[in-house]
Amino acid sequence: MGDPEDKSTQDGGPAEPGRRKLLLAGAGVLAAQLVGGLGSAARAAGAEEGSVAAAQVPITARAYGAASAASPLAQMSIQRRPVGPNDVLLDVLYCGICHSDIHTARNEWASSMPTQYPCVPGHEIIGRVQAVGRAVTKFKVGDIGGVGCMVNSCGTCENCLADREQNCLVGATFTYNSPSAPALGGHTFGGYSDKVVVPEHFVIRIPPGVDLAAMAPLLCAGVTTFSPMQHWRLAAGQRVGVIGLGGLGHVAVKLAVARRADVTVFTTSQGKLAHARRLGARQVVLWPDPAAMKALVNQFDLLISTVPQAYPMRPFVELLKLDATLVNVGAMDPLQDIIGMDLVMGRKSVAGSVIGGIAETQEVIDYCASRHIKADIELIRPGDINRAYDRVMNKDVRFRFVIDMASAKA
Ligand code: NAP
Ligand code: ZN
């Protein structure tokens, strides 16, 4: 956990008067920044030769973001805070495209989580450590680190103390679209960017030898589907249904198969039937077909819904066994067609779940690395982000787009 007393790890940036002055005076030193590598920034800030090369002035980063809900994403410059004592500066190599990025860029969650612009999405980040603060122990320069959906939390509430930073009672600082210092743009910017500064507690160790690009989606899609399987104790032989075969759904299938659960995929896409079987599902159902659904009533121990919008859920609640649970991780709007009588009579539950804590994120990364589980990805260049968004909206991704950030530097 980041030291709650150490304000340099808060996303608002360094709070000590000296550092604050440096931050606000940033414009004067921006020219000497990290355009051609960290060395120039460290030298500009007067870092001693041979000392840990941590940037002590705000860092200008290249990013890809939306200026408004209606604008396509375009290249822009953003500021990252100086590297504080507990911070890690990552040179971003890969960043996955999650459907949450699209919801946010287009302000589709306006009623509960309005988007601040410019919006730089991205919370499936893999990068190489370029600098570390003096108190950092988990990483050294050159290591590979991952950043998921959170970059800070209070560290002291009962949920943070229980390794559930995602449920921080004060409110976790999410990787993008959470409050940040005005000098840094006023809200956090995500991983569609060449650099990111994150407290070490929120940086995940990436085991050696893995396919880095295909590991990136596990930082969100992986933990978001792993966490409910852990919480609801999905066991070998149990029947689990995965609703929606997209980025989250395809990882969910792989994780459930690894637990030797009996997996059924519910899809709306005829073209994904063979993919679902290849991923390890024993059964695939085109769920808009009522007859196919009726044949499965009272059979499931767990259902995980990754559909990005609300839809009538009653046909799925009917598939649950006594005491079983439908976990919604997709739709954030009012859920539809959940009937009290159905829940009462079968002691069934409809629940929600948001990502997972930092320890759990590390757990899923280690779990997948040791079992050679990775996402099926299409690697794209930053210039292709808008086209990728359109394809995700058309359910046409097999199964996660990952942006090759290094290609932008080449
Ligand atoms: P995705 O790649 O777009 O996959 C969603 C899948 O749902 C689609 O491929 C499609 O599968 C199905 N689908 C899409 N629109 C549909 C519609 N209108 N009706 C029925 N089915 C539809 O999205 P994702 O990145 O996996 O994310 C899924 C959702 O989870 C998003 O809403 C995202 O914001 C949310 N999310 C939540 C958390 C959390 O912590 N709770 C974390 C990450 C993401 P088929 O073609 O198989 O039908
Ligand atoms: Zn996500």
Q: How far is the centre of ligand 1, averaged over its atoms, from the C-alpha of 236 (Å)?
A: 25
- 186 burial (CB, 10 Å; 0-12 / 13-18 / 19+) is exposed
- Ligand 1 atom with the shortest distance to the CA of 331: 32
Cα 100 to middle of ligand 2, angstroms: 5
Atom of ligand 1 nearest to the CA of 354: 40
Q: Residue 4: pLDDT above 80?
A: no
98, 102, 104, 109 alpha-carbon torsion, rounded to 10° = -100
Task: Give the helix ranges, DSSP H, for 138-289.
Answer: 158-161, 212-215, 221-231, 247-258, 273-279
Q: Identify which of 224, 248, 275 to mutate to test ligand 1's pocket (most ligand atoms within 8 A of the CB).
A: 248
pLDDT score for 383: 97
Ligand 1 atom closest to 97 (CA): 25
Amino acid at the residue 209? G
Taking Cα atoms as reference points, which of 356, 338, 357, 358 lies closest to residue 348? 338
- Give the burial string for 208-220 (b: 16+ CB within 10 Å, else e): eebebbbbbbbbb
Q: Specify the residue with its C-alpha closest to ligand 1, atom 4.
A: 246
Query: Are the beta carbons of 197 and 89 closer than 8 angstroms?
Result: yes
Tell whether pTM > 0.85. Answer: yes
Give, using CA atoms, the residue closest to atom 11 of ligand 1: 244
- Is 185's pLDDT higher than 50? yes
Quote the CA–CA distance of 379 and 375 in Å, as a whole number.
Answer: 11
pLDDT for 18 beyond 90: no
Sequence-distant (6+) residues with CB within 8 A of 362 are 204, 205
For residue 149, which ligand has an atom nearest its CA? 2
Look at 40 and 399; give whichever has higher pLDDT. Answer: 399
Q: What is the mean pLDDT of residues 376-403?
A: 98
Query: Does 40 have pLDDT greater than 80?
Result: no
Per-residue model confidence (pLDDT) at position 27: 26
Q: Which ligand is nearest to the CA of 377?
A: 1
265 CA: nearest ligand 1 atom? 47
Worst-scoring range by mean pLDDT, 17-21, 117-121, 177-181, 359-363?
17-21
List the one residue out of 376, 392, 356 whose CA is nearest residue 105: 392
As for ligand 1, residues whose beta carbon falls within 6 Å of it are 98-100, 103, 220, 224, 244-249, 267-269, 272, 306-309, 311, 329-330, 353-355, 392, 395, 397
Residues 227 and 355: their CA atoms lie apart, in Å, by 7
At residue 1, does pLDDT exceed 50?
no
Neighbours of ion ligand 2 (CB under 5 A): 98, 100, 220
Q: Averaged over 150-154, what is the pLDDT? A: 98
Q: Which residue reads 């991704």 in tokens?
A: 397
| pLDDT confidence tier of residue 20, bands split at 50, 70 and 90 | very low
Residue with CA at minimum distance from ligand 1 atom 32: 308
Ligand nearest to the CA of 393: 1
Q: Is the pLDDT of residue 144 over 70?
A: yes
pLDDT tops 80 at residue 117: yes
Q: Token pair of 91, please?
A: 């040179």
Q: What's the mean per-residue pLDDT of the chain?
A: 89
User: What count of other Cβ atoms lies within 10 Å of the Cβ of residue 99?
Assistant: 23
Ligand 1 pocket: which of 329, 360, 364 to mutate (most atoms within 8 A of CB): 329
